[in-house]
A and B are shown apart, each in its own frame.
Chain A
Amino acid sequence: EAQVTQNPRYLITVTGKKLTVTCSQNMNHEYMSWYRQDPGLGLRQIYYSMNVEVTDKGDVPEGYKVSRKEKRNFPLILESPSPNQTSLYFCASSLLAGALSYEQYFGPGTRLTVT
């Protein structure tokens, strides 16, 4: 089954404790991205990746890191989480982006609470 998976689905952590949210897709998509969703603000792109070893900042990259060592995986790293990073996070992938854009397939979401 074609899908995007994220883990964990729910996470409660404390300020400053490093964490990683994993994202994996099995559709051989080139484009992967991370979004955070906050009430009234819609979906805001954190980072995106056009392909292996190519990552770029989205609209809200501060406090986050990503890596793309393999085509299927795109982990989101919070080195020192803070309460303002409490949010619902979505990973997404698509075949291509930009001029040849295709549908973004979203993962199930990760609800993160930082206390």
Chain B
Amino acid sequence: GENVEQHPSTLSVQEGDSAVIKCTYSDSASNYFPWYKQELGKRPQLIIDIRSNVGEKKDQRIAVTLNKTAKHFSLHITETQPEDSAVYFCAAFYGNKLVFGAGTILRVKS
């Protein structure tokens, strides 16, 4: 079916450590994979995205990797800071329909 599985559902890390969130999709035709960050009481905002013709993309402390063969993609946050605490969602387009993962609550302990 058209779904996106996201793990873990919650993640606690110490400030300065790295955090990794993984997502799996099911449609090999999917070719665009965004990651959104949602702070408490706010709207989701795009933090990084990757297209299927690229294996990795970085933007300062965040990076996304894509393994098309295995149909999974991951978000990597290095040197985590308290302001990284939020809910993170991965997503994939199935045709013209955007399907989100269930979200990961990231807590960065200082």
Interface on A for B, CB 8 Å cutoff? Answer: 31, 33, 35, 40-45, 48, 50, 56, 58-59, 90, 97-99, 101, 103-104, 106-109
Could you pull out 10 A-B pairs where Cβ atoms are within 8 angstroms?
A35-B100, A42-B6, A42-B101, A43-B89, A45-B98, A56-B97, A98-B95, A98-B96, A101-B32, A106-B44
Interface on B for A, CB 8 Å cutoff? Answer: 2, 6, 9, 31-32, 34, 36, 43-46, 49, 89, 91, 93, 95-103
CB of B79, distance to nearest CB on chain A (Å): 25
Query: Would you call B43 and A44 a contact (CB within 8 A)?
Result: no
A46 to B103, CA, bound (A): 18
Query: Would you call A98 and B46 a contact (CB within 8 A)?
Result: no
CB of B20, distance to nearest CB on chain A (Å): 19
A98 to B27, CA, bound (A): 13
A103 to B9, CA, bound (A): 24
A91 to B40, CA, bound (A): 18
Which of A33, A41, A43 is the most central at the interface, judged by chain B CB atoms within 10 Å of its CB?
A: A43
A90 to B38, CA, bound (A): 12
Query: Would you call B93 and A41 a contact (CB within 8 A)?
Result: no
Query: Would you call B102 and A90 a contact (CB within 8 A)?
Result: no
Query: Would you call A103 and B49 a contact (CB within 8 A)?
Result: yes
Query: Would you call B98 and A44 a contact (CB within 8 A)?
Result: no
